[in-house]
Amino acid sequence: MGARLHMEARLPALILAAVVAMMFTAPAGLAAEGGRAVDVKIILAVDASGSVGRGEFHLQIDGIAAALRSPELQAAVRAGPEGRVLAALLIWSDAAYPKYPTAWHLLETPRGFDDFAREIEAFKQQAPGVPAIGGGGTGIGDALVFALTMLEREPTPARRLVVDVSGDGPESEPWVPGAARLPEARALARRRGVVVNGLAIENEHPGLLLWYRENLITGPGSFAMRATDYSDFRRAILKKLLRELSQGPVAALVRAYESRGDCRRTC
């Protein structure tokens, strides 16, 4: 009887895992568009662990959506050699909790950017069948391995592969045995030629930027940036995405943004 009750309790989680698996594998057909390469294939990996309140999670979602709709970022993508980027978002927390990936989105036209922003904003909804934020510890290594697998399964050729991790704390001890830890995940990213960048939200851990630089980022040109708190996230994520997606002359957009008065205190 106890085993039956345990299985019944697990059924919702198993059903949710199956839905997530379908979301994870469905978008692979994007490569069929003439086999055209993209300048960057990027995953925005967003922290939804137990230290992240609902309002703080929403500030991350709103900040990313606003960045995607910004004229500066869209101009940066269009100025690349291919003029297009393939992007997905991944909500992560502890290894004991499900991951929530979006579909892959082709960022080439204003509609493509807006479609991606709209799917991201759907994570703010609270309704049956809509994933909620996670909980538990800060499973950065497990999230990074999941993101690397997403990149590997999506066949579109890309000039650069990037995982963009944002979070408010260092990696914690996973709640499940055998979960991937950050040192091995970081080494795997290095072997696969994937650049890992970080956005450290320092509302609770003032030294997190340094920790990200020493323990998270890897790959040619990798970098970490700081958001002083969640209210600063919108500014920081736009600047970070400009740096990640800008190439050639568009780097001037980053320099112009950095010269703004609201950037000097934290950049």
- Residue pLDDT, tens place only, 164-180: 999 999 999 888 888 89
What is the predicted pLDDT for the residue at 33? 54
What is the predicted pLDDT for the residue at 61? 96
What does the alpha-carbon distance between residue 223 and residue 32 come to, in Å, rounded to a whole number? 32
What is the predicted pLDDT for the residue at 214? 97
| Cα atoms in the Cβ-side hemisphere of radius 13 Å centred on 266 | 26
What is the predicted pLDDT for the residue at 10? 35
What is the predicted pLDDT for the residue at 176? 85
What is the predicted pLDDT for the residue at 178? 83
CATH topology of domain 50-258: Rossmann fold (3.40.50)
pLDDT along the chain (267 residues), means of 10: 35 36 40 73 95 92 98 95 97 92 97 97 73 80 97 97 96 86 97 98 93 97 96 97 76 48 39
| b/e map 237-264, b = 16+ CB within 10 Å | bbbbbbbbbbbeebeebbeebeeeeeee
